[in-house]
Amino acid sequence: MARRLLIAGGGIGGLAAALAAARAGWQVQVLEQAAAFSEVGAGVQLGPNATRVLRDLGRLDVVRHAACVPQRLVARDARRGHVLGTLPLGSDFEARYGAPYLTVHRADLHAALLQGVQELPIGLHPDCPLVAVQDTAEGVRVLTAGGRALDGEALVGADGLWSLVRGSVVTDGAPLPSDHVAYRALIPMDRLPAAWQAQEVTAWLGPHLHAVTYPVRGGALLNLVCVVRQPLAGPRSGWDLPGTAQRLRAALGDVCPPLEQAMEAAPGWGLWVLHDRAPVVGAHQMARGRVALLGDAAHPMRPYLAQGAAMALEDARALGRSLEGVRGANPDVQAALQRYARERWPRVARVQRRSLRNATIFHATGLLRFARDRVMQVPRVMDVPWLYAHGAR
């Protein structure tokens, strides 16, 4: 009889985990607190380490159909607009790493994963927020706000930054808000000059700020994210708080004409306050007993390495491999979850630390900014082989 796995959270990480676990022979139930399985947000970058996982899960071709294939990554000065450094992407990059670099709307990525889940005998339970987790040596039970009780042999918390399941693994309280705020907009390409039609990812770096632009939806939309230091009053949680162009401009100051054009063309702004947890320090922070954590529930990270979604996808693949080994009359489920945690924690901790370091580099001033600009002129300095080659055969 198939082993039963409960997954809290039906986002990108939760659906990828469901696919991986089902392929490993488990009977999977996905519990989503929202009324429908959907995704908020805007664009997401998927390096070869992420698209390699999508290929393993059989979803890469579907995602590629809705995505863009940028031909280069460009770093520019946000104030004057000149090029600081470039990294060729496209077919040469794909040949080097064995998987493509894509930019995609987060909803399109989520829809591709959801379609794959719906093609398998995986239970989907929307409008099913959890209120309690009971972990015992014999199994795990979750209780929902609607009074339901569901039992399984393991539980995966893929329920995001404000995870309820996390408390069953590590008791470190809520994530801490930072003074960095991300404004985001999706801009129809027909509102922009022809120069914006280029298939590239651009990082615009300035003192105490940076912005990132790239195409999504097959090039129909430009994704624009501006990250600035701006303490906020009022609500600070959530991924889609209302933002205003006036507050963003006050924080950015003067920027170069191309970036100014994009900002003027934005139909509206959403924002979120970046939250932190300290980098993971051991396997005990990712699994305990019959409960394991995945994605932002385990290792939230700032977006300065564009690896949040990728790490959740990598987690899902590693979890599936560990669960595949649970066989026989008396399987050790807890040992399988510990194998997963031991494999993943050094990797995600390194990415968390690198993301924090990039925050300092991207927003540099003074001599550090001067040194950064000089170093970026070195060929391939923007490449990260240890990151992108992960999981390659």
How many residues would you count in the chain?
393
Helices 12-23 & 308-324, crossing angle to 10 degrees?
20
Q: What is the DSSP letter of 299?
A: -
The 3-state DSSP class for residue 235 equals coil
Task: Give the DSSP per-residue string, 273-320.
Answer: EEEE-PPP-SGGGTEETTEEE-GGGT----GGGS-HHHHHHHHHHHHH
Beta-bridged to residue 336, according to DSSP, are: none
Contact 187, 43 (CB under 8 A): no
Q: How many CA within 13 A on the CB side of residue 296? A: 24
Catalytic residue among 101, 183, 214, 340: 214
> How far is the C-alpha of 204 from the C-alpha of 225, rounded, in Å?
10
* Angle formed at CA 249 by CA 245 and CA 254, multiple of 5 degrees: 145
Return all residues near 155 (Cβ < 8 A) that are at least 6 apart: 5, 6, 7, 8, 133, 135, 140, 142, 165, 168, 290, 291, 292
State the CB neighbour count (10 A cutoff) for residue 360.
11
H or E segment at 162?
none
Amino acid at 166: R
How many whole angstroms separate alpha carbon 334 and alpha carbon 338? 6
Token code pair at residue 200: 């590239």
Q: Are 86 and 73 in contact (CB under 8 A)?
A: yes
Does residue 304 carry a catalytic annotation?
Answer: no
Type of residue found at 376: M
Q: Can you tell me the distance from the alpha carbon of 386 to that of 393, in angstroms, rounded to the nearest whole number?
A: 14
Q: Where are the beta strands (DSSP E) in 145-295?
A: 149-152, 154-157, 176-188, 200-206, 209-216, 221-229, 241-243, 269-276, 287-288, 291-293
Phi and psi torsions of 158, nearest 5°? -115, 35
Q: Which of the residues are catalytic?
A: 214
